[in-house]
Amino acid sequence: PTVAPRAQTPQRPRNNTAFRAAFRASFLGNMATAWARASPTKTAPSVRVSAADLAEFEFYTPSRSAGSVLVIDVDRPEAVLDIFDTIPPEIRPSWIVETRKGAQAGWMIDTVDLRSTARERPVAYARAIGAALREALAGDEAVDPLTPVRVRNPTYARAELRASATPPVYGLRELHQALKTANLWPSAMRFTGRSATKKAHRTIAAAIDTGNRNQTVFDVARHAAYAGEDFEAVAWETNDAAPEPLGTSEVRGIIRSIARYMANHRGHRSTIAMPSQMREALSEMGRRGGLANTAAQRAARALGPIASAAARKPRTDTKARTAQKMRAQGHSAAAIGQKLAASPATVYRWLRRHVRHQCRFSPVEHQVIRRTPHRSAGSPPWHPRSWPHPRHQTPAPRCARQLPSTGP
C-alpha cells in the first residue's frame, strides 16, 4: 500500500551554545517586557524575574499586558509530526518544545496591547487566530493561546527545542490569510480583523427604532467604557445619530450610571472576554443541573413554597434575635450586617419586627401580630397570602399583660 510521505521535521541544532544564544536574543527582543513570571517546575510557585534570568526556569507565564506569542499545547505522542503535517510551511511555528506527552508550539507575533486601556478589537482578533490554530492541531482546550497560565520556556537551557536561530515573527493578518488559504480557518468563525469605527456606531444607532434608543445608547457607551475609550463622547455621538435623539437628561443619566459602575470595585475590570471553552463548560454544567430532576428536587417541588418559607423562618428569627442583641450591645447596623451577612435594610427590618419590650409585669419578645381581615357572608374564604402588607397591620400591644379596662 502507498503511504503519503510525512513532512520532514527539522533536526535539533548541534551547536547548542551559539544556537540558544541567538534564539534567546530573538525571543527576548520580541517579548516587549523586561520582566516575566517564571517557575522552576510546573507546580512550584512563580516568581518575578528579569528577562536576562529567564533561561534558568523551565516554565514561564507570558505577559498579561503585552501579547507577543501564541502557544498551542498538543498532548499526543506524535505531536511534532502532526504540527509539521498540518500547519502550512509559510507559517510554521517559531519554536516547538517537546514534552513527555507531546509538544508545545509557539508563534511569535507582533505585540498586541492587552492592558485595560487597549482597543478591544485587536485583542479579539489575536484570540480568534489562536483559537483557529488550536482547533487545527486539536490542542488542549484548557490552554489559552494568547494568555496561558503557565507554559514551557523555549529559552530554558535544557529544553528539547526545535527552532531556528532567528525564529520568524508573524503578523496577525499573515497568520489569518495563511490559515484561510489552507482551509484551516473554522467555517463558523467570521472575523475580518477590522476595528469598529465611529461610523459603525452611527449605523447601529440609525437602524434602531424609537423604542430602543435608550438601550442602544447604553450598550454602545458601556462597551466603549470596557475598552477604555471616552464613553461619554461615544454616548453623545450615538444619541445624535439616532433618528429621534433622546433628551439631554436621559443621556446624562446613562453616563452617570456607567460611571458609577466603572468606579465600583465590583465593576468591570478587564477587557478580556471569558474563553469560549470556559463559557461552554459552564453552560453544559447548568444544562446538566437543570435536567437532573433528582428525587430531592422532585420532593422539594412537591412540598411547595409554604414549606420553603417554613424552613427559612427559624433561621430568620435566629438572625433577628442576634441582631437585636448586638444592637443592645451598641453595635452599628453596618457591623451587624457584616457579622450576619445581611444588608443594612435587612438589619433595620429585623430590628423593627423583632422588638423586646420592657414593662413592670414581664419582658416579652414578639413579632408584629397580623389581623385577620373581615369577611362578610358569602365571600370566599381568606388565605394567608391575602393578608395586608406588614406596614398596614395592627401593632402588637406593648406588654403581654394588659391592665383591666375601667368601664362602668
Among the listed residues 352, 349, 393, 353, the one whose alpha carbon sits nearest the alpha carbon of residue 370: 393
pLDDT of residue 248: 86
Q: What is the pLDDT of residue 298?
A: 78
Q: CA 266, 228, 238: angle at the middle one, nearest 5?
A: 105
> Is the separation of the CB atoms in 10 and 164 below 8 Å?
yes
Strands 35-39 and 47-50: antiparallel
Mean pLDDT for back-to-back runs of 10 residues, the chain (408 residues): 49 67 90 84 84 90 89 91 92 92 93 84 89 92 86 91 91 92 82 47 53 79 79 82 80 89 65 60 68 74 80 85 91 89 88 58 45 55 51 50 48
Residue 108: its pLDDT value, please? 95
According to the model, what pLDDT value does residue 363 have?
45
CB 72 within 8 A of CB 137: yes
Stated pTM of the model: 0.48
**Rounded to whole angstroms, how far apart are CA atoms 104 and 150?**
12
The residues, any chain, with a CB within 8 Å of residue 408's CB and separated by 6 or more, are none
